[in-house]
Structure 1
Amino acid sequence: MTRPIASVSTVLGAGLIALLVAVPAHAQDQKRRKSISPFIEIGQVVTADLKNNDVLTYSTVAAGVSASVETKRAQVQVSYRYERRFSYSKRVGDDDVHSGLARASFIVAPGLTLEGGAIATRVRSDIRGAAPGTLAGNVDNISQVYSVYAGPNFASHVGPVGVAASYRYGFTKVEAPGVTGVPAGSPRLDAFDTSQSHVFNASAGVKAGTILPVGVNVSVGYERGTAGQLDQKFESKVARVDLVLPVAPTLALTAGAGYEKITVSQKDPLRDGNGVPVTDARGRFVTDPTSPQRIAYQTDGIIYDAGVIWRPSSRTTLQARAGRRYGGTTYSGSFSYAASRALGIQVGVYDSVDTFGRQLRNGIANLPTSFIEQRDTFGQQFSGCTFGNPGAPGAGSAGGSAGGCLNGVFQSISTAAYRARGIDAVIAAKRGAVSFGVGGGYATRRFSAPVGTGFNINGVTDDSYYAQAFAAAAIDSNSGVNGNVFANYYDSGIASAPGVFSTGATGLYYRNFGRISTTASAGIYSFSQKGTDDQLSAQGQVGVRYQF
């Protein structure tokens, strides 16, 4: 794993911590809930291959911060951990591991808010390869990912007309993977590098009964994104009108129509004298400077949909739509239910044309600003389901939703554009000293790429299924336990590449002695794929943390 001189995650973490310290001055006259807890940690790890009786050990040194601010005008939470691994032999790599999530929302002025988010995590790279569920020891097919987004939101009224506008900037960086576990001779897929995006949306509308019996909303949007691999470009323009007709106190019908144009293009890879794509030292395609910009995906025309909105109470909302978009039938919807401050349910059905950086930016934005931190040193922190903190202050707000899952984004990493469809569901709850969460879903992607860009994945469809459960309980004021179980199945859709199935479980016990806390962790992981030997491994760790 490469180690950048100035890690992107370190810069992002420092910036967001600065935001925590510099909470706007107008918050000083409010009741403030503020917690900033830096820490350092040392640990000893042992991993055992239960199939081959192979045992590895290494030491870890880590530093990080857990921080949150809750006021009427600010909601911020940051969880970040940097770990350095030291092996006793060359059998285990000396790696740097960054893991963190930050979400922030500030009310700058009446009607004007500023929000942002950042993530650092390690995830699968090639969907055909290994699917490590625990990240102890030597793991294949893993890339370090960094991503950040930020921008303002504005909402106000001009007489009876409500107006709104927003802007988002997003940036994503992915380090190239090492060994992927894909059999030798398999077609080479592209390797994502960096991307950035700019998104602008504006709307104006009136509520039903204000001027007309129906509510009317007119909206426009523009997005432009670029990716370094093969000079990819993404451009989207959309304009539409939506109508809402109340038919009962809690039920309304909705319909909308408009125009949309999406274009995704990229260049060809440079080829050697044998016609084989040239790659750089990190395995990425070298872009042919003489290649024209070639269309990978394009849609241009009228879009429309219709559906229902059901709001039986302020705690329950259901929306469902069906229509025509992207040249075919499309379905989308959402359901949220806050049974109480201690229980939340979130379900989302999505259908969109995406790139990896774009989908990750939107995924981070959908995560709550108050979430449960898990002291799980073996798991893939924040790359699966992140559960909201239902018992936290502000949990009843939009920033305290039940949570969300990034599994559909992180099933693999690809530069190529794709149509992403799927469903995610999350339940988060807290009862007394016990917190738990359950999440899962299904994701499918259909790729679009021009012929000639290396191995052609145009028209290839991949699928993934995932489930995760988390629980934490305090034994007393100074000790507690938590645990995770998960299962994943991946089908790449590429010929001769069999599906991948992985399961695992991790658990942790902690004991606090003032500022010093001790932990004992254990995990077990299994992996199976047709044509390869099944894997079964176990992990253990003991550690000591000092909290400043």
Structure 2
Amino acid sequence: MRGLHHSIAGRHALMALAPLCLAGTALAQTTGTATGGTLSYGSTGLGDDTVTGEGDGTSAAKQPHAPGGRPGSPIKPQRRTKIRPYLEVDQDLLAELTPYDDVVTYTTLAAGADVSFGGRRTEGAASIRYEHRFFEAGAHGGSDAVSGLARVRREILPRTLYFEVGGLAARTGFTPTGGTLLNTLANNGSTGQIWSVYGGPALTTHAGVVAINAGYSVGYTEIGSLHSYVPASGGGALDVFDHSLSQQGSLSASVRPGMVLPFGFGVNGGYLREDVSNLDQRLLDWRAGVQLVQPLTRSLALVGDIGWERVEVSQRDAVRDSSGNPVVGANGRYVTDMTQPRKMAYETDGLTWDVGVMWRPSRRTNASFYVGHRYDSMTYYGSFSYNPDRRSSLTVSVYDGISGFGSSIGNAVQQLPTDFEVSRNPFTGDIGGCAVGTSSGGCVNGVLGSAASSIFRGRGVNIAYGTQFGHVHAMVGAGYAWRRYIAASGTVLAEANGRVDRNWYLTGGISGPIDQRSSYGLTAFGALYRSDRVYAGDAANWGVIGSLNRQFTEKLLGTASLGIEGVNRQLTPDELDILARLGLRYIFR
């Protein structure tokens, strides 16, 4: 799902510059983050015969449409389909050193599956896990958690019609400032289960020399099982996102350079709608434009786009009691007053423009940078990707756009490669936040940095790098997310209007074999959340975890893990935990 936000599509933009065709531009809208399936402003695939996806994990960042598949790029079977379900039992110990002196032991039962698709017409990956914790000692109660990540693309008609589905599940905690902590063992404040799914088709065809591309996707996101929340001192109730439905579509017709004129040109249109249940918030965006691509050399092109765009953000107020205070429902969210008219929070329409360059000196390197005017201000975005060999990939993306919490998650998942591999926290089972494939990578950490319900303008950068040297695998992801929230005056969310949240994150890991039956893994993560609320303080969480694995039989795997995790806050006491685990996993091969 794309919320109004420019796709970091420079990587796919130059895929066909060798013959100097208009293979794509970064003038596209996406949701939420620097990563995303694109809702094109222009045709990003003029002459699909010249644009060939690698099939071993072409990410949505290289795709011209919201559903993420590159219409016209054949899916090459470069790996077999593998399905590995498993059952797992673990014995855990959690020693809280601060602010309390507490030791908790518990047993975890888990079931999950890791899947990779590598057929002739299907490619993708999925990792899903359910676990239940039985606490034996300490003050904690039992809990359930589901975590997972999936992105699968299916070719329906050869080189013409594709369909993609994907999703994310995660368990998160909320800080007194409204930020989120992907540390489900912390049993203070509020916790919630995040669910997000999306799906949709992409079509590419020709009418003579005119390339026609279209795409549509729909997504649903929800935070369920929200437990009690204690607001920061002096603050009101936390407005945690509930659920939303997002839809986006795109249509373009274009001609590549040299077919009719020396330069490439096209017309394009796009539509986005996101409906958020909290206070019936709504984001609408329509855009139409004309795009030109002028090749300068065989590896460099100049891109320009001019168009018209209309953006609306509106909402309703909460029900008020006799004293004028907003009413909070049993689910912990404000009760929407449907009897009152909708109030406009943000509205703009008029001409927009973007100019930029696309550079592709080789099949291994792609870069793009764009500057433009949108949302009544200047905007900057771009991308860089480098694949020195099949063992390494570097992806950098910079973004700017308007979206909601739900559409930003769908966008981030669409940005992941279809052959991604994820690492999991051995104590919580949660995904690590970043995923890397053979040709690209991406992270979802930034979009999960805050769970406020308000529509926002988001800017930021994401970096993902993965490499393999010998039998050792290493990965690092980092990023920065900036959000300025949009809310209508005279409503309960008016205080949030113009408020800025910032989130920095860093995660990394290394793993490899010790001998034929043993292996090791070491991961580290950290995140810092800041809000400019007067009564809000900074919050950070971090951790370092090491694991040893031993293959007892072909199907039985033993694991021993030791870690330290911390949560640091300005307004409440810090938390420091030592964790240990012994576990057995049975793999159904």
- Same fold by TM-score greater than 0.5: yes
Report what 1:44 is aligned to: 91
Cα distance between partner residues in 2 of 1:283 and 1:260 = 36
SS in 2 for 1:452: coil
- Tell me if the contact between 2:219 and 2:247 (Cα under 8 Å) persists in the aligned partners: yes
Measured after TM superposition, the shift of residue 407 of structure 1 is: 1.8
Instruction: State whether structure 2 residue 354 is matched by structure 1 residue 305.
Output: yes
Q: In structure 2, what residue type is equivalent to 1:44?
A: Q
Give, in angstroms, the shift of residue 209 of structure 1: 1.3
RMSD: 2.0
Say whether residues 1:526 and 2:566 are aligned partners. Answer: yes
Bigger shift: 195-204 or 227-236?
A: 227-236
- TM-score when normalising by structure 2: 0.83
Structure with larger RCO (C-alpha < 8 A, sep 6+): 2
Residue number in structure 2 paired with 1:503: 542
2: distance between equivalents of 1:380 and 1:84?
Answer: 11
The equivalent residue for 1:8 is none
Query: Is 1:58 aligned with 2:106?
Result: yes
Within the candidate set 473, 489, 496, 1:457 is matched to 496
Paired with 1:234 and 1:383, the residues of 2 have a C-alpha distance of 30
Q: Deviations over 1:173-207 (max 9, x none)?
A: 11153255643542223221111122110111111
Unaligned runs of at least 5 residues, structure 1: 1-26, 391-400
CA displacement 1:312-367 (0-9 Å, x = unmatched): 01121111100100000000101111111000010110000111111111111001
Residues 369-448 of structure 1 mapped to structure 2, 5 A cutoff: 369-378=418-427, 381-382=430-431, 384-388=433-437, 390=438, 401-448=439-486
Q: Percent identity?
A: 37
CA displacement, residues 404-431 of structure 1 (integer Å, 9 cap, x when unaligned): 1112211111211100000111101112
1:8-43, Cα deviation, whole Å (9 max, x unpaired): xxxxxxxxxxxxxxxxxxx9x978712111111111
User: Which of 65, 70, 90 pairs up with 2:118?
Assistant: 70
Query: Please, what TM-score do these two structures have when normalized by structure 1?
Result: 0.89
Deviates more, 1:71-80 or 1:243-252: 71-80
Query: Is 1:334 aligned with 2:383?
Result: yes
What does the per-residue CA deviation read over 1:440-492, in whole Å, with 9 as the maximum and x for residues that have no partner? Answer: 01110000101233252001011111111111112233221112111211111
Which region of structure 1 is more displaced relative to structure 2, 322-331 or 123-132?
A: 123-132
* Matching residue's letter, 1:439: G
1:47-446 equivalences under 5 Å are 47-51=94-98, 52-89=100-137, 91-110=139-158, 111-126=160-175, 128=177, 132=181, 134-136=183-185, 138-180=187-229, 182-378=231-427, 381-382=430-431, 384-388=433-437, 390=438, 401-446=439-484
* Preserved contact between residue 135 and residue 378 of structure 1 (Cα < 8 Å): no
Q: Distance in 2 between matches of 1:41 and 1:384?
A: 22
2:296 partner SS: strand
Kindly indicate whether the alpha-carbon contact (under 8 Å) linking 2:422 and 2:434 is maintained by their aligned counterparts in 1.
no
Residue in structure 1 matched with residue 34 of structure 2 by the alignment: none
- Maintained 8 Å contact 2:423/2:431: no
Query: Which residue is 2:583 aligned to?
Result: 543
Post-superposition offset of 1:256: 0.7
C-alpha separation in 2, matches of 1:216 and 1:353: 27
The 1-side partners of 2:161 and 2:427 are apart by 40
The answer for unaligned runs of 5 or more in structure 2 is 1-73
Q: In structure 1, what residue type is equivalent to 2:342?
A: Q
- Which amino acid letter does the alignment assign opposite residue 308 of structure 1? V
* Counterparts in 2 of 1:98 and 1:233: CA distance versus 1, 3 Å: same
- Checking the alignment, whether the CA contact within 8 Å between 1:251 and 1:310 is kept in structure 2 is yes
CA contact (8 A) 1:131 1:502 kept: no
In structure 2, the residue corresponding to 1:210 is in which secondary structure? coil
1:35 aligns with 2:35: no
The aligned amino acid for 1:468 is T
Alpha carbons of structure 1 residues 134 and 233: separation in structure 2 relative to 1, 3 Å: closer
Return the offset for 1:124. 4.2
* Matched letter for residue 75 of structure 1: E
Secondary structure of the corresponding residue to residue 477 of structure 1: coil
> How far 1:384 sits from its partner (Å)?
2.2
